[in-house]
């Protein structure tokens, strides 16, 4: 195993700093290191050795950014020289990194041993720890290891006894292990936060929680909106699973270095087989915390949620430190609404034509096809979010003194509002109620009846997740239909999500001459700036108008 890189002595650092300040290398070496220049060696090579020593030290401390800064340091660049001097002060006295049970074996063990361990499925220190029993000749089942390699591994674990203690508290982690969702999570006592490194004194804590899981649940319970709870729980769930499985730490023991590592993990979760998979119900073994890599914007959102969670834990005197304080994401600023996420009038008509023939041409059952058409028409005509549509009831529809019909909803941030129910939405609802054998006259409605009918023997109400999957399946069907004649539209449909119905609603409403404030109020936007993003002109029309005004002169 490689020895820990040594920190340069003060004379070497003085010579290197002088060189960074512009002192010629020969003068710097003659002044501070007169006895270091061997026969035939140049002063430049002496300075180069000091630089390489500093780079190796930074690399050994897992500080790749500081290593890159020092490697690029030159007196010809004042900014680089200043950054290198700051890097030296940051590295000074920094202890060597300590191994974590989730680390890959190749990070800490010699290359000659790694191949033998990988051959039997041992890829992390946690797996290796659980394979090392206390009896003699434990290595005989691992081809290619041998007594010498086994003894070096035993010596490594002897230098780091905490690894064995933590690993025994966890289930062995491997590439095919099924991660457990939040509601079924049982956290080992060793990493549950009951003895967290950064726990505040128990006597001053305002929570009854004795561990991190209970404390986070208390934080989640503050939010009355079910959608907000789900969103925040997802971020907390991902973090607590990662902290236990990959770092072997409790949430209340996480350091800033852990938070920075988690930021990188969110951008590309790995190992992929353990963390990433297609959307699946939480009750199935195929469930995974991620469906893919997170964008800069999604990563910034996740970090902002976790930052708020830790701030609250500090306010309740449960924790002493917030590891996510100051951890930012480059490129994570809120982006402008992508107005391409809407269908044109022609595209929407084509989508509806395919929807009309689902049960006859594409194998959908009649109730499923009827439900799909209703969801499409109602969402398009009202601009409701999917989460709002799945919980809508007949009792939330009423008429005012002017005879106008409205539907009352509770949107984002648990804000109550009302949305106009135009004739297209009302016609779709009447048709769908009749198909379900329910009365169309409002006076005969049962207020608790869901707008969206129930399918299947269990009769359970459709969830947002299920509705999302149904609409995505439909868009994929339409994409297959138009693939040959319009490959660009087919690609657009495969990218489309159910939220595009809301974008399409707003775009068509504005193109039809509706006032900006009308669209803002119907979408329940807090600001006109958000609604104004839908005010995009047709590129073809814009190009024609400019070309007509500035036509080339006739010859």
- Quote the Cα angle for 345-350-356, to 5°: 125
* 515 vs 86, residue with greater confidence: 86
Mean pLDDT along residues 361-380: 88
Is residue 283 helix, strand or coil? coil
Q: Minimal CA–CA distance to 252: which of 178, 327, 180, 201?
A: 201
Which residue is it, tokens 């000749």?
137
Q: What single-letter DSSP state applies at residue 74? A: -
The Cα 549–Cα 309 span in angstroms is 57
Q: Work out the number of other CB atoms within 10 angstroms of the CB of residue 434.
A: 11
* 511 vs 253, residue with greater confidence: 253
Q: What single-letter DSSP state applies at residue 104? A: B
CB 49 within 8 A of CB 9: no
Q: Work out the number of other CB atoms within 10 angstroms of the CB of residue 522.
A: 21
What integer pLDDT is reported at residue 109 of this predicted model?
80
In this structure, what token pair is assigned to residue 225? 């909106």
The Cα 293–Cα 299 span in angstroms is 9
Over residues 87-126, the pLDDT tens digits come to 888 888 777 777 777 677 887 787 788 888 888 778 878 7
Least confident of 83-87, 137-141, 156-160, 341-345: 137-141
* 26 vs 62, residue with greater confidence: 26
Is residue 507 helix, strand or coil? helix
The Cα 29–Cα 51 span in angstroms is 13
Which residue is it, tokens 């003085």?
14
Maximum average pLDDT range among 119-123, 350-354, 529-533? 350-354
Over residues 241-270, the pLDDT tens digits come to 998 888 888 899 999 999 999 999 998 898
Helix axes 111-119, 146-159, angle to 10 degrees: 100
The Cα 121–Cα 123 span in angstroms is 6
Side-chain-side CA neighbours of residue 21 (13 Å)? 9
What integer pLDDT is reported at residue 456 of this predicted model?
55
Beta-carbon contacts of 390 under 8 Å, excluding residues fewer than 6 positions away, are 452, 461, 462, 463, 464, 467
List active site positions: 385, 412, 499, 502, 525, 534
Q: Minimal CA–CA distance to 501: which of 483, 480, 475, 521?
A: 475
Q: Minimal CA–CA distance to 106: which of 93, 115, 94?
A: 115
The Cα 389–Cα 543 span in angstroms is 38
Q: What single-letter DSSP state applies at residue 450? A: B
In this structure, what token pair is assigned to residue 359? 């049960």
pLDDT tier, 336 (very low <50, low <70, confident <90, very high otherwise) = very low
In this structure, what token pair is assigned to residue 318? 């449960």
Mean pLDDT along residues 336-351: 74
Is residue 536 helix, strand or coil? coil
The Cα 408–Cα 429 span in angstroms is 15
Q: Minimal CA–CA distance to 257: which of 51, 96, 110, 56?
A: 96
The Cα 71–Cα 486 span in angstroms is 52
Over residues 450-481, the pLDDT tens digits come to 888 877 544 456 777 788 888 888 988 888 88
The Cα 527–Cα 300 span in angstroms is 22
> Could you tell me the domains of the chain?
10-91 (no CATH), 105-176 (no CATH), 182-316 (no CATH), 341-533 (1.10.443.10)
CB 13 within 8 A of CB 88: yes
Over residues 518-528, the pLDDT tens digits come to 667 767 655 54
- Strands, DSSP E only, in 392-537? 397-399, 405-410, 416-420
Q: How far is CA 47 from CA 21, 73, 87, in A?
A: 13, 11, 17
Is residue 397 helix, strand or coil? strand
- Across the chain, mean pLDDT equals 79
CB 127 within 8 A of CB 18: no
- Whether pLDDT at 173 is above 50: no
Q: Minimal CA–CA distance to 44: which of 75, 8, 6?
A: 75
């Amino acid at each position: 195993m490689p020895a820990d890189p040594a920190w340069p002595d003060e004379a070497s650092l003085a010579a290197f700093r002088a060189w960074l300040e512009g002192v010629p290398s020969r003068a710097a070496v003659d002044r501070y290191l007169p006895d270091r220049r061997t026969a035939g060696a140049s002063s430049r090579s002496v300075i180069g050795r000091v630089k390489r020593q500093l780079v190796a030290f930074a690399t050994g401390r897992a500080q790749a950014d500081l290593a890159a800064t020092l490697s690029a340091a030159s007196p010809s660049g004042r900014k680089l020289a200043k950054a290198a001097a700051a890097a030296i002060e940051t590295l000074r006295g920094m202890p060597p990194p300590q191994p974590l049970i989730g680390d890959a074996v190749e990070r800490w063990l010699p290359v000659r041993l790694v191949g033998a361990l990988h051959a039997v499925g041992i890829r992390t220190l946690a797996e290796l720890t659980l394979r090392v029993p206390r009896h003699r000749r434990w290595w005989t089942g691992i081809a290619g290891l041998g007594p010498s390699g086994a003894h070096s591994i035993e010596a490594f674990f002897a230098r780091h006894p905490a690894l064995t203690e933590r690993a025994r508290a966890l289930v062995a982690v491997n590439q095919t292990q099924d991660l457990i969702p939040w509601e079924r999570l049982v956290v080992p006592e060793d990493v549950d936060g009951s003895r967290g490194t950064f726990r505040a004194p128990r006597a001053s804590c305002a929570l009854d929680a004795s561990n991190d899981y209970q404390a986070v649940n208390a934080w989640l319970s503050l939010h009355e909106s079910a959608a907000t709870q789900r969103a925040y729980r997802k971020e907390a769930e991902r973090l607590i699973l990662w902290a236990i499985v990959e770092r072997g730490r409790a949430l209340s023991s996480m350091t800033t270095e852990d938070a920075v590592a988690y930021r990188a993990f969110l951008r590309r979760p790995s190992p992929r087989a353990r963390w990433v998979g297609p959307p699946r119900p939480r009750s199935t073994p195929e469930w995974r915390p991620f469906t893919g890599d997170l964008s800069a914007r999604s990563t910034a959102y996740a970090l902002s949620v976790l930052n708020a969670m830790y701030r609250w834990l500090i306010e309740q005197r449960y924790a002493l430190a917030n590891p996510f304080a100051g951890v930012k994401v480059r490129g994570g600023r809120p982006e402008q609404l992508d107005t391409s996420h809407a269908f044109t009038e022609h595209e929407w008509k084509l989508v509806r034509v395919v929807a009309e023939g689902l049960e006859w041409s594409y194998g959908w059952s009649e109730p499923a096809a009827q439900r799909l058409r209703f969801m499409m028409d109602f969402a398009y005509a009202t601009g409701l979010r999917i989460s709002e549509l799945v919980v809508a009831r007949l009792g939330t529809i009423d008429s005012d003194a002017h005879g106008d019909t409205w539907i009352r909803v509770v949107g984002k941030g648990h804000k109550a509002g009302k949305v106009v129910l135009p004739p297209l939405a009302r016609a779709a609802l009447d048709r769908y109620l009749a198909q379900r054998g329910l009365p169309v006259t409002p006076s005969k409605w049962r207020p608790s009846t869901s707008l969206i009918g129930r399918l299947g023997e269990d009769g359970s109400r459709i969830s947002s997740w299920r509705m999302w999957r149904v609409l995505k399946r439909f868009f994929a069907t339409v994409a297959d239909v138009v693939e040959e004649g319009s490959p660009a539209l087919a690609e657009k449909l495969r990218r489309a999500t159910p939220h595009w119905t809301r974008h399409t609603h707003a775009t068509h409403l504005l193109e039809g001459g509706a006032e900006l404030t009308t669209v803002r109020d119907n979408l329940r936007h807090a600001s006109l700036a958000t609604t104004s993003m839908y005010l995009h002109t047709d590129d073809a029309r814009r190009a024609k108008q400019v070309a007509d005004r500035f036509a080339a002169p006739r010859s």
